[in-house]
Chains A and B, each alone.
Chain A
Amino acid sequence: MFSSKKSAVSVRNAVKRYEGGVLGLAGVSLECRPGTVTALVGRSGCGKTTLLNLCGAMDFPTSGEVEVAGLVTSGLGDAALTELRRTKIGFVFQFFQLLPALTAMENIELPLLLSGAKNPAAAARERLGWVGLAEKAESLPYQLSGGQMQRIAIARALVHDPAILVADEPTGNLDTASADGILKLIRRAADEFGAAVVMATHSAEAAAIADVRVRMRDGHIESVDS
């Protein structure tokens, strides 16, 4: 596990301009430390998803620099990015994004299978237990509720002990009770595994569990609360 106090994610004056001149980010800087939860908060179109994508190495800045797990992302090729995703980053999506053809257990195992890890089943079983769904190992996604699917997604995102957990509106599609459960798990991921969690959210409850709340507006960071 990653235990250094050095930032897991470091964004320095990042500007993101899209085709047609649309400005996604207008010179943003941010540091995310291990073991902390950083919430990116703001209205739709404020740039939080764009910033989240940069933090997860899903996208690259037009100018400025983004460093993820000690690597500057703009200079990385496909192989290096793949390696980064395999070992350092875990993703949680708003719409769960489980593979419908695989069981819960198989969905969780998948990152380890892709990286060629030995005995993926054991690690997957452990994570499944950690999210409290050991009895759902052989269930297919369509047999699970929204909350259960998101738990499986979190287990999958953490199975390879990533340094960074990127979560895009993780409670956006859930009822209040399920959402609470998910937020607890995200908090535990930072506290127990030392992951640096970066979370984009509309939800006040989600923002409440964060160590750092970054408010954004029109591609700028308006304020940063700790």
Chain B
Amino acid sequence: MSPALFRRLILRPLRRDRARTALTLASIALGIAVVIAIELSGNAATGSFQSSMETLVGKVDYEITANGGVDEQAIAKLTALPLNARFSPVIEQPVVVGVAGAVRPAATTLYGIDLIGAGSGSGGAADSDSTGFDPAKVETFAAVSDDLAARLHWKKGDAIELRGRERRRVFTIGRIVNGQSTGWVGVDIAAAQDLLGMRGKLDRIEVFAGAGDGDSLERAIRAAVPVSWDVETPGARSEENRRMLRAFRWNLRILSYISLLVGAFLIYNTIAVSVVRRRAEIGILRALGTSARGILLIFLGEAAMLGLLGSVLGIVLGRMLASALLRMISDTVNALFTTSAPGAIALSPEAVFLAILTGTGVAVVSALIPAREAARVAPAEAMRRAIVEHETRLHVKRDVVLASAAATVAVGLAQLGPIDGRPMAGYAATLFAVAAAALISPAFVTGSIRALRGTLKRLAGAAGLIAGRSLVASLARTSIIVTALATAIAMMVSVGVMVGSFRETVEVWLDNQLRADLYMRAQGSASAGVFPPLSAEVPKIAAGVPGVEQVDVLHAFEFRYEGTRATFGGGNMDVVRRRRFIRFLAGDADTILASLPGADRAIVTEPFSDKHHVRTGDVLKIPLGGREVALTVAGIYYDYSSDRGMVLVDRSTLLKYLPEQPVTNVAIYLKPGADSVSVRHELETRLADYPLMIAPNDVLRRGAVEVFDRTFAVTWALEAVAIVVAMLGAANSLLALVLDRRREIGLIRYLGADSGQVRSMILTEAGLLGLLAGVLGLALGMALSLVLIYVVNKQSFGWTIQFHPPLALLAGALALVWAVTVVAGLYPARFATRLQPAEVVHEE
């Protein structure tokens, strides 16, 4: 196609219809923006998982870890081996930084490393040549990240106080490390062990390999340490983190694709309208010698232009949206999955290219059917629209059969299990369900309008009669806009039902779980997998406070099981049995819990059971304290605190294998009639020396629900975008219908319709579209909610959710969407009332 033809046949029509072109571009741009934003913010939120210490100590080749901590004596054993490698002890724990004059101390991460050894020409930044490090002052030396220093207004030479479980120590800032995205403090390993009460214990041993065969080094290390210890590269840990987040990110991606899907419906509609409106032009072009292929290329070219321009706009918009979404997603990642510092949002050339390819590709694919229809039409038939609409009606029966088939396939797919841990069959089921809705839409529109015919005429007179008939007469286009709107509404309904059900399930679970009056934990990060230890004195002091009836403790820590991180906990099962209500998937709770004390038995959460295919009666082999312990699974219980999974034993069992394991959480039950506020005040007074957080039951409960609500904030944002895209499409399509029926509208004015009646007609059409889409969307949404609850969510995270649709919320949301659809008809209605009857009727 020559540039002149391209300008006249593709660009000029787009420029002529400015309003509709703008609406279509906006729809595509929003769809692409959402997809890009989710991808960019997801990448940034999951971070690089790069060790913050790499800047200080150099690149680590291997990490040696063990459940419950690594015995320090292993360093000596490893160093004695004839290996070309350096072994360095590391402690990584939450710690509280005392800030002079601050009402609330700040929590950060403490790294304890061998500062002397790291300065021995390792090439790391701790080399004394580069840092001014004085070995004589190793006990009080601290390096801090520039991120933390900026937040707390520290500079080199400042004295800072660090508070561990039982002790406080003052350090001097000897170095501020630049280019850090998280806050941390680095001190000498011995100082860290002293501060945290971890004598003889390390969190890991880092291995710096010299020149030589990496595989043989790894084999030698594995042979030298207990079998239950892990030896892995830092990259494996990052990979594990990414795997944990995969399900979460995939679910967000699928939600973002819904907006694109709605946009695809609308592009189909736009091109279909363009074909109808330019049918005379098609006839003339064919008569002048344009081939069918040429006609096809004109309309595909129009779609490609819209896709390209929309994608470019979408990239700009998406980059801005990513910044807004990053905080939401990062909060969720930290709360539910793993500690991660958000990285920078990186819009790479590859991402730009992919976005343009996606947007343009979706536009072209969406336009294929109407473009092919345009190419197939013979010049004479291009003048008669009635025949096309008649043919659409004839296909309705066939489409009903296809819709039934698609629905059957959807039901079948929903029965299948996960593929590679992902609910791919579940996602496919949702696509088939949407396809079924699209196929049933023409029959649904026709049948509904027929059923409503009398009512429309009675309630709205001529406007109602014409509105209903017009929608059926333009069935090919009407059914597409109903499907697009219904898809967006279905997404809103299904996610609303899923989240509402989940919230109700979590609230019931919280009611059963949170039975104590007060809860205590150490100050520090509340991220998933982080359990700051408490001093052993804390529960004892708490028990002595007047008004306290009982103190329950939990020892929790992160551990590895079959290469995946989970939580291991030891609690007082007698207290749990008497005070709390744990719901088990099967079996009597009392019997199960009573079997735990003094025995090598454990209960596991539903997500743990799902991930590791564990059943009641199975034996778990878990490395604890240097040996492998066999724990029989006594029961599986419902738990919604995290999808990482938890194994819970009686405290006596845990301390048998890990006697030094610190308490991490305390629950306090008050005597009947005791005043919670004054007991809390007394606790704060008696425990002032310990860095603690004390929360009453209702505050903790509220906080848990807030975390839940924040988790789903991003899904609400995505839904809003899908609805906006659908609304833009509704306005676009209504305007197209008005433009296409200019002559009719002029004629109706001749027959005696006033402006108000013309406006009513268009708004009634908009209202009917909204109503039909609402009904279809509600039905589709309820079906999708079942897939989300019982298939996608279950297979992604392992949680069982009880079905509790939030009916009042749904009704309100549907009413709002209907109202907005009517509002979308205002501009087309205004356009219609301004048409001059004489001009439009005599257009020939």
Chain A residues within CB distance 8 Å of chain B: 53, 58-59, 78-79, 82-83, 85-87, 91, 93, 95, 97, 99-102, 106, 110-111, 113-116, 141-142, 156, 160
Within 8 A of A (CB), among B426-479: 457, 461-462, 465-466, 469-470, 472-473
Docked CA distance A53–B390 (Å): 35
Proximity string of chain B (811-844) to chain A, C-beta cutoff 8 Å, 1 when within and 0 when not: 0000000000000000000000000011001001
Closest 7 CB pairs of A and B: A86-B752, A101-B473, A101-B469, A113-B462, A142-B386, A114-B752, A82-B754
Nearest residue, chain A, Cβ from B387: A142
Q: Which residue of B lies closest to A97 (CB)?
A: B747
* Chain B residue at smallest Cβ distance from A87: B752
Q: Closest CB of chain B to A159's CB: distance in Å?
A: 10
Which residues from B are CB-within-8-Å of A141?
A: 386
Residues of B within 8 A of A113 (CB): 457, 461-462, 465
Contact A59 B461, beta carbon cutoff 8 Å: no
Query: Could you write out 14 A-B pairs with CB less than 8 Å apart?
Result: A58-B838, A82-B749, A82-B754, A85-B749, A101-B470, A102-B469, A106-B469, A110-B462, A110-B466, A111-B751, A113-B465, A114-B752, A141-B386, A156-B751
The answer to whether A93 touches B753, judged by C-beta atoms less than 8 angstroms apart, is no
Chain B residues with Cβ below 8 Å from A110 are 462, 465-466, 748, 751
Taking CB atoms, residues of chain B closer than 8 Å to A99 are 466, 469, 744, 747-748
Given the interface pairs A101-B469, A102-B466, the reply to whether A95 lies near B844 with Cβ below 8 Å is yes
- CA A90 – CA B47 in complex, angstroms? 74
Q: Roughly how many angstroms separate A142 CA and B470 CA in the complex, as a whole number?
A: 15
User: B742 on the interface (CB 8 Å rule)?
Assistant: no
Say whether, besides A58-B838, A59-B838, A95-B844, A102 and B465 are in contact (CB < 8 Å): yes
Question: In the complex, what's the smallest C-beta–C-beta distance from A144 to chain B, in angstroms?
Answer: 11
B750 proximal to A (CB < 8 A): yes
Chain B interface, >50% SS class: helix
**Which residues from B are CB-within-8-Å of A97?**
743, 747, 841
Contact present for A85 and B751 (CB under 8 Å)? yes
Interface size classification for chain B: 20 to 34
Q: Is B550 an interface residue (CB 8 A)?
A: no
Cα(A95)–Cα(B470), bound, Å: 20
Question: Nearest-CB distance from A105 to chain B (Å)?
Answer: 11
Report how far A142 CA is from B804 CA in the complex, Å: 51
User: Which of A58, A79, A100, A111 is close to B837, meaning CB atoms less than 8 Å apart?
Assistant: A58
Residues of A within 8 A of B744 (CB): 99-100
A85 and B466 form a contact (CB under 8 A): no
15 further A-B contacts with Cβ under 8 Å, apart from A110-B465, A113-B462, A114-B461, are A53-B838, A58-B838, A79-B754, A82-B749, A85-B749, A85-B750, A85-B752, A86-B751, A91-B750, A97-B747, A99-B466, A99-B748, A100-B744, A113-B457, A142-B386
Within 8 A of A (CB), among B483-524: none
Residue on B with the closest CB to A103?
A: B469
Report whether A115 and B752 are in contact in the complex, using a CB–CB cutoff of 8 Å. yes
Task: Report whether B754 and A111 are in contact in the complex, using a CB–CB cutoff of 8 Å.
Answer: no
Q: Is the CB of B390 within 8 A of A93?
A: no
* Distance (whole angstroms) from the CB of B841 to the closest CB of chain A: 7
B residues 709-765 in Cβ contact with A at 8 Å: 743-744, 747-755, 757
Q: Are A82 and B838 neighbours in the complex by a CB distance under 8 Å?
A: no
Chain A min CB distance to B829 (Å):
16
Q: Which residue of B lies closest to A110 (CB)?
A: B751
How far is it, in angstroms, between the C-alpha of A53 and the C-alpha of B837 when the chains are bound? 11
Q: Are B752 and A82 in contact (CB under 8 A)?
A: yes
Query: Which residue of the partner chain A has the closest CB to B844?
Result: A95
B435 to chain A minimum Cβ distance, whole angstroms, is 28
Majority-rule SS of A interface residues: helix
A-side contacts of B457, CB under 8 Å: 113
B757 near A142: Cβ-Cβ < 8 Å: no
Q: Once bound together, how far apart are the Cα atoms of A99 and B744, in whole Å?
A: 6
Bound-state CA distance A115–B743 (Å) is: 20
Q: How far is the CA of A118 from the CA of B743 in the complex (A)?
A: 27
Find the residue from B462, B466, B469 having the highest chain A CB count within 10 A: B462
For the complex, what is the distance from the CA of A142 to the CA of B757, rounded to whole Å? 26
Chain A proximity of B751: nearest CB distance (Å): 5
B472, A111: Cβ atoms closer than 8 Å: no
Residues of A within 8 A of B461 (CB): 113-114, 116
Nearest-CB distance from B235 to chain A (Å)?
65
Q: How far does the alpha carbon of A111 sit from the alpha carbon of B461 in the complex, in Å?
A: 11
Nearest A residue to B757, CB-CB: A114
A100 to nearest B CB, angstroms?
6
Shortest CB-to-CB span from B393 to chain A, Å, is 11
Please give, as numbers and ranges, the residues of chain A lying within 8 Å of B838 by CB-CB distance. 53, 58-59
Contacts of A102 in B (CB 8 A): 465-466, 469
Closest chain-A Cβ to B727's Cβ sits at a distance in Å of: 25
Residues of A within 8 A of B462 (CB): 110, 113-114
Q: A142 to chain B: which residues have CB within 8 Å?
A: 386-387, 390
B757, A101: Cβ atoms under 8 Å?
no
A82 to B753, CA, bound (A): 7
Residues in B with CB closer than 8 Å to A79 are 754
Question: What is the bound-complex CA distance between A189 and B459, given in angstroms?
Answer: 34
Name the residue on A nearest B467 (C-beta). A101
CA distance A87 to B457 in the complex (A): 21
B470 surroundings in chain A (CB, below 8 A): 101
A114 touches B473 (CB 8 A): no
Contact A93/B465 with A85-B750, A110-B751, A111-B752 known, Cβ cut-off 8 Å: no
Question: Within 8 Å CB of B837, what residues of A?
Answer: 58
Distance A159 CA – B37 CA, assembled complex (angstroms): 60
Residues of B within 8 A of A82 (CB): 749, 752-754
Whole-angstrom distance between the alpha carbons of A160 and B751 in the complex? 10
CA distance A110 to B761 in the complex (A): 13
Known: A110-B462, A116-B461, A142-B390. A101 touches B751 (CB 8 A): no
Q: What is the distance, in angstroms, from A73's C-beta to the closest C-beta of chain B?
A: 13
Give the CA-CA distance A204 to B744 in the complex, in Å. Answer: 30
A136: shortest Cβ distance to chain B, in Å? 16
- B750: chain A residues at CB < 8 Å are 58, 85, 91
Chain B residues with CB under 8 Å of A106's CB are 465, 469
B424 to chain A, nearest CB (A): 44
Chain B's closest residue to A94 (CB) is: B844
Give the chain A neighbours of B386 by CB distance below 8 A: 100, 141-142
Q: How far is the CA of A156 from the CA of B837 in the complex (A)?
A: 18
B471: nearest chain-A partner, CB-CB: A101
Q: In the bound complex, how far is the Cα of B753 from the Cα of A95, in angstroms?
A: 20
Complex-state Cα separation, A141 to B743, whole angstroms: 15
Write out the residue numbers on chain B whose beta carbons fall within 8 Å of the beta carbon of A59.
838
Query: Which A residues are in CB contact (< 8 Å) with B749?
Result: 82, 85
User: Which residue of B466, B752, B753 contacts A101 across the interface (Cβ within 8 Å)?
Assistant: B466
Task: Say yes or no: B753 contacts A114, CB within 8 Å.
Answer: yes
Task: Kindly state the separation between the CA atoms of A74 and B687 in the bound complex, as whole angstroms.
Answer: 93
Q: Quote the shortest CB–CB distance from A125 to chain B (angstroms).
A: 16
